[in-house]
A and B are shown apart, each in its own frame.
Chain A
């Protein structure tokens, strides 16, 4: 992509200096940086993280953040939508260079890809109808880390299991929530896997399933829709362990330069409050990672 002529040499100078300040071992030099386009994939169906807006354009927390990070990295970014269940195989197949799609950093995924970040923490919860007995789920408002407070977290999970016994729970396939449901809730409750969170929300509204297990921020997004005014977010927020270490940028393992660039840009964006500001804009709560 050629540099727009009106920006001129000053811009070029700033770019070169900017790159030098990054102190990066980026494979591309100042001149090449103008040519470099990074393709970032998002799901486009995970409001308010990333979704397709009324005009058919991609919008959301991650779209804003991606644009900010790209500006910091002085690269041109193209954001594309990709179905969630093929998002990692397509990254390794080089259809794009990075994933920003509310993807939690897990050991399982780290076997295949690498992550920069995290750029957000990922609280979890259950979405249930207010009238359902599940609305009185124990542990609501509490937070446990499976990695660091395993005993307490497992006690909280047992309390949840006692309530969801015999119920049907919807999760999005290929997510940390699906893995969690497989490991802890299978056999106690019936687990159904959906392609998108929108699909399990529809089935919850239709009464085909009793609860949805998902990311709390995504549930908050759902609760804003008028159809879900009689629904409520309940249950403990369990993180860590197989639920991952926050949300990060998925990258190919060999792209260590890009990882470094992203890490530096994320650190800068967290530090100057950009991530907090964007989180409050989209989620109403600050879920920026605590450094």
Chain B
């Protein structure tokens, strides 16, 4: 192990972190919107909505992300005239948007199931209590169902975010120079695979360490009822009464 080389490698690979985070957070944000929609379709009780959502989740959870990226990037590249006619080619021409598109579709499938799980785990008596207080419709959802569901879904959703940070490494196969892409390029120049991949792994560890801390902080903030109550010093004068 050559530590001077590893330090240089670290500073080279850090250059890919903005793109890695950009891909991860853009697709997680867009994916969350799509996931919410899918979860509501699944729970709507309307077959015409439920079935397409089920099929979507089945397809995107059941196929490897790498295959999805290849299909979206190289596969759709074969249909350029059609896409041009529809005005979609400017979007699919760019490897960045193809990567975001593939990652978004993929995370939406997983996240929709996480959200559905969270929503279904909301205790019915809480809903009944809310109805008894006169809440219904969107107000009930916003004040009672959604906050409880988020609390329950967050640990699993946190894992999904971490998985997405790691999944961005697959974007390197469609010419995106994020951390893994830069690592592969560096290896091709130096032929020192071990050092470069160790450093690349370290960078993902650091990123995910920070992300897990943030998610833990949010969990703590969202669940005051699980925290130990602050210990109250017994008031001295109470003893005299």
Q: Residue-by-residue, is A204-223 near B (CB-CB < 8 Å gives 1, otherwise 0)?
A: 01111000000000000000
Q: List the one stretch of B31-39, B74-82, B138-146 in contact with chain A.
A: B74-82
Top 8 nearest A-B pairs by Cβ distance? A174-B188, A206-B77, A89-B193, A112-B191, A192-B175, A88-B191, A202-B74, A206-B80
Q: List the one stretch of A26-34, A128-136, A193-201 in contact with chain B.
A: A193-201
- Cα distance, A273 to B188, chains bound together (Å): 34
Q: Residue-by-residue, is B63-95 near A (CB-CB < 8 Å gives 1, otherwise 0)?
A: 000000000001001101000000000000101
Q: Is B203 an interface residue (CB 8 A)?
A: no
For chain B, the bracket of interface size reads 10 to 19
Using Cβ atoms and an 8 Å threshold, which residues of chain A touch B188?
85, 173-174, 178
Residues on B lying within 8 angstroms of A by beta carbon are 74, 77-78, 80, 93, 95, 173, 175, 177, 181, 184-185, 187-189, 191-193
Name the prevailing secondary structure of the A interface residues: helix
Using Cβ atoms and an 8 Å threshold, which residues of chain B touch A206?
74, 77-78, 80, 93
Using Cβ atoms and an 8 Å threshold, which residues of chain A touch B181?
193
Q: Residue-by-residue, is A134-163 near B (CB-CB < 8 Å gives 1, otherwise 0)?
A: 000000000000000000000000000000
Using Cβ atoms and an 8 Å threshold, which residues of chain B touch A195?
173
Name the prevailing secondary structure of the B interface residues: helix
Contact B77–A205 (Cβ < 8 Å): yes
- Cα distance, A179 to B190, chains bound together (Å): 12
- Cα distance, A67 to B115, chains bound together (Å): 59
Q: Is A59 an interface residue (CB 8 A)?
A: no
Are A202 and B77 also in contact (CB < 8 A) when A173-B184, A195-B173, A207-B93 are?
Answer: yes
Q: Is A257 an interface residue (CB 8 A)?
A: no
Minimum C-beta distance from A281 to chain B (A): 30
Contact A203–B77 (Cβ < 8 Å): yes
